[in-house]
Amino acid sequence: MTSSSTVAPRSRKVRVLATLGPASSDAEMIARLFQAGADAFRINMSHGDQQSKVAVVQAIRGLERRFGRPSTILADLQGPKLRVGRFAEGRVMLETGATFVLDRSPEPGDATRVELPHREIFAAIEPGARLLLDDGKLVLRVQEHDADRIVTRVEVGGALSNNKGLNVPDVVIPMAALTEKDRSDLAWAVEQGVDWIALSFVQRPEDLMEARGLIKGKAALLAKIEKPAAIERLEEIVEQCDGVMVARGDLGVELPPEQVPPLQKRIVEVSRRMGRPVVVATQMLESMIQSPSPTRAEVSDVATAIYDGADAIMLSAESAAGAWPTESVTMMDAIGCAVERDPGHGDRVHFTVTKPDPTTADALAEAAKQIARTVSASAIVCFTTSGSTARRVARERPAVPVMVLTPKLETARRLGLLWGTTSVHTRDVESFEEMVAKAKRMALRHGIAGAGDQIIVMAGVPFRTPGSTNVLHVVRITGNELSNYAK
């Protein structure tokens, strides 16, 4: 990977994921966001067409040539969108306490009824279940139903207009997580070589199977936890995916707002314990869509996610469509750096206990964290092909930087969402001696260690064998090596 101006590794361990959109889709703005602190970029497939996003992908990949760092792209699929039909007058007022019917008739609706063009809901709904309209602003309670009609009582009324969204929080809808649009977008994303694909509307672990089959290992799969049904089978879902997103926006619609913070902590804890990167998303710096500075409450919210040990914190409309995209990324970076400078940060991150699995690789990852602390090492350097060694080490949340050396560019790119890691795409090594020499050289080149520092080196022998981590070696960088590097 060549570069015109290599950028030093981030000192911050939590990653910043920035959504791109109308305010941030040209190459120069994307470069500015990267320089401001964005570690990875989200492309929202809900908006725009595929062709318009090709240039965005190319601009992100262009960062690699310009700055000498692997770039990370997440394509976020839209998922099924449940909506009511249209009204004869375009808009009606639903009175609290009134009866309102959702049916299969395509006739324009009125204040008593409207079409619901989703057959699956009629099959799954139960008396007593809630139906939430327009992002939860209106609440209906199901009284009775059959194959063609759902009779409800309006519990919270208000204005309702054409094609407003519908949420069904109390039952599992027998609906595939992938729509035809999603399948097309997924195929496009794989063709473009994106690194992560985020799946919406996940209710069950089975929902991940079709997407994984279509991806065929060419990208990592991230499950968005946004449905109450997903919480009930959280560990099974986390087991089936490569990463997790706490999608607080939809969770906050389908659940009482006060339930979202403890669920966020639970999702982060489960994901960390099971060794999956976890992203906390939605409305983190919402006021910065219009304001150049956030509220103190928003800063505290972001800080809480960092103290909990989330791998990444995400900007949505703030960087995609707001008036202050660069400032939003800069603020995320500043909050991350400030929290991680807190002397109590390390203790708080380790409130979550991550017990190693009974494998050599997990035992060495845990040992690396402890040895780094005992001998005051400056960094942990991992040689990996698949990225599994890096994920194991990052799960332990060591106090020192983790440098990942990999011969696979795809692996280096995917690790852009992983806590505390700096990935370097480089040729593989052939021998133990070459491994040690390269680890020292790369630590010096990227500024994570200097003369006299000790580093911990992890790898698998025989080399070029994925999943064979069985070596942990502590080495010291000497003045001679520094002199040789400078020549």
Q: How far apart are CA 236 and CA 411, in angstroms?
A: 25
Q: Quick: pLDDT tens for 407-422.
A: 999 999 999 999 999 9
Q: Quick: pLDDT tens for 265-293.
A: 999 999 999 999 999 999 999 999 999 99
Catalytic residue among 42, 276, 413, 438: 42
**Strand spans (E) along 3-109:** 15-20, 40-44, 73-76, 91-94, 99-103
Kindly state the average pLDDT of the residues 441-455: 92
| Structural contact between residues 325 and 19, judged by C-beta atoms closer than 8 angstroms | no
Which class does domain 15-78+177-349 fall in? Answer: alpha beta
Both structure tokens of 271: 């994901």
Backbone angles phi, psi at 247, to 5 degrees: -85, 85
Kindly state the average pLDDT of the residues 77-95: 95
Whether 2 is catalytic: no
Catalytic residue among 10, 53, 224, 391: 224
Instruction: Kindly indicate whether the domain formed by 360-486 is annotated with CATH number 3.40.140.10.
Output: no
Catalytic residue among 32, 61, 81, 83: 83
Q: What is the dihedral of CA 431, 436, 439, 445, to 10 degrees?
A: -110
CATH of domain 91-167: 2.40.33.10
Nearest to 167 by CA among 225, 251, 85: 251
Q: Where do the structural domains in the chain lie, given as residue ranges?
A: 15-78+177-349, 91-167, 360-486
Q: Quick: pLDDT tens for 309-358.
A: 999 999 999 999 999 999 999 999 999 999 999 999 999 999 888 888 88
Q: How far apart are CA 423 and CA 437, in angstroms?
A: 18
Whether 282 is catalytic: yes
Kindly state the average pLDDT of the residues 20-33: 96
Residue 486 has pLDDT above 70, yes or no: no
Whether 348 is catalytic: no
Catalytic residue among 282, 354, 389, 406: 282
pLDDT score at 484: 58
Q: How far is CA 221 from CA 42, 211, 291, 424, in A?
A: 14, 8, 34, 22
| Structural contact between residues 407 and 426, judged by C-beta atoms closer than 8 angstroms | yes
Whether 438 is catalytic: no
Q: How far is CA 117 from CA 93, 103, 107, 215, 326, in A?
A: 21, 8, 11, 30, 41
